[in-house]
Amino acid sequence: MSEPARFDRGHTDDLMTFLAASPSPYHAVATAAERLEKAGFRQVAETDAWEGTSGGKYVLRGGAIVAWYVPEGAAPHTPFRIVGAHTDSPNLRVKPLPDSGAHGWRQVAVEIYGGPLLNSWLDRDLGLAGRLTLRDGSTRLINVDRPLLRVPQLAIHLDRSVTADGLKLDKQRHMQPVWGLGDDVRDGDLIAFLEETAGIPAGEVTGWDLMTHSVEPPAYLGRDRELLAGPRMDNLLSVHAGTAALAAVASSPSKPASIPVLAAFDHEENGSQSDTGADGPLLGNVLERSVFARGGSYEDRARAFAGTVCLSSDTGHAVHPNYAERHDPTHHPRVNGGPILKVNVNNRYATDGSGRAEFTAACEAADVPFQAFVSNNSMPCGTTIGPITAARHGIRTVDIGVAILSMHSARELCGADDPFLLANALTAFLER
């Protein structure tokens, strides 16, 4: 059966490439930076003095990136238009003493990061990726993108209660993956293996930030391929869309009236309180230094921030066909229905009426449909970087995103058209 004529799938094809290339936040920002470089952006070091020149610039810090484009002739008090997102996803992360095992099995000791659906990590072929730090302080990205690890599930014959009581997993005892056989577990085995894999001399790695990932590639799903299944869409889907939107605006012959910004933070899944998280100083420092580099004063900084708007773009919940009662009865976002406007009157999301108008204008300019999301009153609502950004910087912020299923699973599901619609809406927002 041939695929029906729908939206151009080039953007979604490219998202699949981005997801596969970004098994960790460090890889995600490196991939985004590489794409921005091709659009003419250049990296600036935080330790250097900044020039007030026009053009595209970006800062990398760990698993975070802040990129911005200064149009020719921009005044110091020119406001910013920011797309905010995050690079991290719930997963299993390697402990400081990773080598363990028992009963003839060699295992890797892991800690639970964020709030993953633990059962989704069972009996799945896992790779290992992240960042290695060497003795001289330099870092090296590593990605073992092949079946290396597995968290084996207990056979039903040894736990008959699972059919009646459901699966119950202890995070410490039941989530440690196996990666080989042998009784002679030796400290340093895993890191020695990674040094050999990366071509690093033995004993040079003294620090690591490593995490597991599913090695199954992203794929179209369904009779008509109208769905996309893949890892880390919460929230690399938004990082990819924001990167594409910023590059498009910077390359456009009609220059924006504001300064478009992409801020992709790390550590959203565990509270954002780090030097690379949304609750840290990174975004504020970059915006202020941009104002001051263009000869601005504190008054110019205040004026710029007062006129700034941020779209906090993260995934949200599509109505689930098997659990529709868990959703608000009058708000049922559907996949491929366009991005969602996320609202919570208790400020778990930062959207208010003026923010809705801002997002409506962007979607109308891009000819993109959008939907509204609000949680069922009987269930606690999640949160995002939106309220943190609004409170920390005094910036008007709107929470939006793409509706998905299986959020926080090792493999999530969205509509294949929605990433394209989101990117178009973000481009229109940055251009305004």
pLDDT in tens, 302-354: 999 999 999 999 999 999 999 999 999 999 999 999 999 999 999 999 999 99
pLDDT in tens, 369-396: 999 999 999 988 899 999 999 999 999 9
State the average pLDDT over residues 78-106.
Answer: 97
User: Residue 2: is its pLDDT beyond 60?
Assistant: no
Residue 107 CB-half CA count within 13 A: 18
The Cα–Cα gap between 269 and 342 comes to: 18
The Cα–Cα gap between 324 and 332 comes to: 8
User: Residue 5: is its pLDDT beyond 60?
Assistant: no
State the average pLDDT over residues 149-163.
Answer: 92
- Cα dist from 24 to 21, 63, 141, 281, whole Å: 9, 8, 9, 22
Tokens for 244, please give them: 């594409």
DSSP state, 154?
A: P
Whole-prediction pTM: 0.96
134 and 200 Cβ atoms separated by less than 8 Å: yes
pLDDT in tens, 251-292: 999 889 999 999 999 999 999 999 999 999 999 999 999 999
Tokens for 373, please give them: 């999301």
State the average pLDDT over residues 232-249.
Answer: 98
Q: Are β-strands 55-61 and 42-43 bridged in parallel, bridged antiparallel, or unpaired?
A: parallel
User: Residue 166: is its pLDDT beyond 70?
Assistant: yes
State the average pLDDT over residues 65-94.
Answer: 98
User: Residue 163: is its pLDDT beyond 50?
Assistant: yes
